[in-house]
Amino acid sequence: MTRPSFAAVRPTRREVLKAAGSVTTVALTIGFEWLGPSRRAAAVVASPAVFAPNAFLRIGADGSVTVIAKHVEMGQGAYTGIATVLAEELDADWAHVRVESAPANVKLYANSAFGMQGTGGSSAMANSWSQLREAGAKGRAMLLTAAAKDWKVPVTELTTEKGVVYHAGSKRQAGYGSLAGKAAALPVPDKVTLKDPKDFKLIGHQAPRVDVPSKVDGTAQFTLDVALPGMLVALLKRPPLFGATVKSFDPTAASAVPGVVKVVQVPHGVAVVAKSFWAAKQGRDALSVEWDDSHAEKRSSSEMMDEYRHLAEQPAASARKVGDAAPAIKNAAHTVSASYEFPYLAHAPMEPLDAVVKLTGSSCEIWAGDQFQTVDQGNAAKTAGLDPQQVSIHTLYAGGSFGRRANVGSDYIVEAVSIAKAYGADGTPIKLQWTREDDIHGGLYRPMYFHKLEAGLNEKRELVGWRHVIVGQSIMAGGPFEVMVKNGIDPTSVEGAATIAYEIPNIDVELSTTKSGVPVLWWRVVGSSHTTFAVEAFIDEVAHAAGKDPFAFRRDLLEHEPRMKAVLELAADKAGWSSGPLPKGKGRGIAVGEAFKTYVAQVAEVTVDDAGRVTVDRVVCAVDCGIPINPDVIAAQMEGGIGFGLGAVMFGAITLKNGRVEQDNFNNYRVLRINEMPKVEVHIVPSAEAPTGVGEPGVAPIGPAVANAIFAATGTRVHMLPFPKSSKS
């Protein structure tokens, strides 16, 4: 795939500033300030001659269209989706579109779902949809007005296509670049008419991803690629137990390693700063630290799970109550019960955490695959003793995250700034790198959970009662998101359970929140990563007890949920659900879920050999995410979510022994390997609804779909994750 030569040009900030004073440099900049719930876009004043990223759109004299992305690109296709939405309304030539990351500026680039600048919760497309359509439409309107004034014709006689304005009557035409200077002198219109979806030329089509060329040719810049003059590399020795602190350390052996420059203590541990990664690693290996573990978490995960099982039998906080489930179940003609256990999980992104910091007494410059710009800017400023305005963040490509880079403590950013400060804050660039072992040992895991469920069926085998008890840690309590915890309920602990879509006359969902020294964080698809498994595995058990087909049983309970019912029916149809049983040793399972207002159903086909090893052969996925912006990106995210979720349910577990994490690297914290990836078919439901996210929802149904397929093949239910046996483990 080739790109126009201008698309590969990345001017330095110095060149941008120099260009700002040149009368020969012409650009059109459209800026917007997000003003909260009203979603009103206000123009940001910009000089007609200024060539500088500002808000969302920049058009160069060469016809290049630069879209400024407020969301990080970490493999989920955010850059492509954002550019597609804006370019659609602009009528841009896709071949001339490029994307740049926005600076940390909450006033201009807030995520309307969060009230701050940040990426997560599959919100990039949903919160940008109207905003970027308006940005593109206003840019197009100004270009049309500029052409109409220049040609002295009514605007209504003009049309646009692929970055060119046309006048049919005079057969005149002008590229956007030639009109940029004139358009920049015009006022930004207050209102514009957006396209009718039937006229979309980019949205709904498979435009090539904007990040692929640079990732293929190696010019894409991740934090690991950053190499600044005089830069040093730091590795941090962290305590082996969560909650332990440095009691003392001896830097002698570490300092004697060739290439080691300095050994410094910081709040999170002791850092070795060196001229290279290898020198820093050797120095850290040689470093002697005595830890104070008097306040550390020393329990094993098996002890914690024993406590969870006990708590599941105790009174808990009510997350949802409909009717009266207890007597409905007690008096039911048939009852079903089951429990499910979920371990801690690491995020394990392909690029471990890293950040480059250049700190002086008056400024802090950060390079990172930054996911929480506003939070990270504030925490970096506090650590450095600066004002947030003195902290600038260059958001680079991130090699995955799955939630890990978005944490309220900004751990890896704060560590990097702390090290730069302890080093002397003399402007020396310092790159903090986490190793894979640091990542696996480093905490902020998906919490461990225990689920207990009971259901009652009447004489007609109809589901009349449902009770669901959840036990686990809160990721919201005790921090800035504490306000979201109401009456003892962390909404992320119960989403997918308290929001169960099935129509049941009596429902009781309860939560018992535990405390532990193990630090936890949201993980891809957050609460639905465990609640959807519990709900969908158990509803399958209930369907079996009722003597009904699992698909038909679900469908009958979703009459009032047309979108969820539609994906369920589509997945079943495309998978050939009614085509009859599979051969011996093979099974087919189904599951459906909703996350971030996106509906996903999946049918999994598995083979279980005589030794009990499971191979997932095929997955059919149906998704309703509103208007599909780019079908190829949607399919890729469903496929990626399925692979990510499969790795977790088949292999994933962080276990503790006497407080120490037992896993180290991918050798014993297994992820799915390429030869274990099943054949995946993705079917997208046509929709006129506003777009919702696709980065996370595909993860939720795959575990229960496979577990239900294992039952179909073997007659054995899965109640503990990861699966006890799997192929090629």
- Assign residue 174 a region (left: φ > 0; alpha: ψ between -120 and 50; beta: otherwise): beta
Helices (H), 45-114: 78-90, 106-109
CA proximity to 297, closest of 661, 49, 594: 661
Instruction: Write the DSSP string, 222-242.
Output: BGGG---TT-EEEEEE--SST
CA–CA distance, 260 with 256 (Å, rounded to integer): 7
The β-bridge relationship of strands 97-101 and 65-69 is parallel
Q: What is the 3-state secondary structure (H, E, C) of 164-207?
A: EEEECCCCEEEEHHHHHHHHHCCCCCCCCCCCCHHHCCCCCCCC
The β-bridge relationship of strands 32-34 and 269-274 is unpaired
CA–CA distance, 541 with 338 (Å, rounded to integer): 9
CA–CA distance, 564 with 706 (Å, rounded to integer): 19
Helices (H), 624-693: 631-650
Query: In angstroms, how far is the first alpha carbon of the chain from the final one?
Result: 37
What pLDDT, on the 0 to 100 scale, is given for residue 479? 83
The percent helix, strand, coil of the chain (3-state, each to 5) is 35, 25, 40
What pLDDT, on the 0 to 100 scale, is given for residue 726? 58
Q: What angle do CA 207, 208, 214 make, to 5 degrees?
A: 150
CA–CA distance, 704 with 88 (Å, rounded to integer): 38
pTM of the model: 0.92
Task: Give the residues of the chain that fall short of pLDDT 50.
Answer: 1-54, 727-729
345 HSE (CA, 13 A, CB side): 30
CA–CA distance, 439 with 354 (Å, rounded to integer): 10
* DSSP three-state, residue 708: helix
CA–CA distance, 663 with 588 (Å, rounded to integer): 32
Q: Are 620 and 681 in contact (CB under 8 A)?
A: yes
- In the 8-state DSSP scheme, what is residue 651? T
Q: Are 381 and 445 in contact (CB under 8 A)?
A: no
**Token pair of 104, please?**
């940390």
What pLDDT, on the 0 to 100 scale, is given for residue 729? 44
CA–CA distance, 390 with 503 (Å, rounded to integer): 53
Q: Which amino acid is at 681?
A: E
* DSSP three-state, residue 543: helix
Q: List Cβ neighbours of 471 (8 Å cut-off, separation of 6 or more).
A: 308, 309, 311, 312, 316, 449, 450, 451, 452, 511, 512, 514
- Residue 278, Cβ neighbours under 10 Å: how many? 12
Q: What angle do CA 94, 399, 402 make, to 5 degrees?
A: 100
CA distance readout (Å), 407 to 138, 258, 354, 481, 626:
35, 35, 14, 11, 28
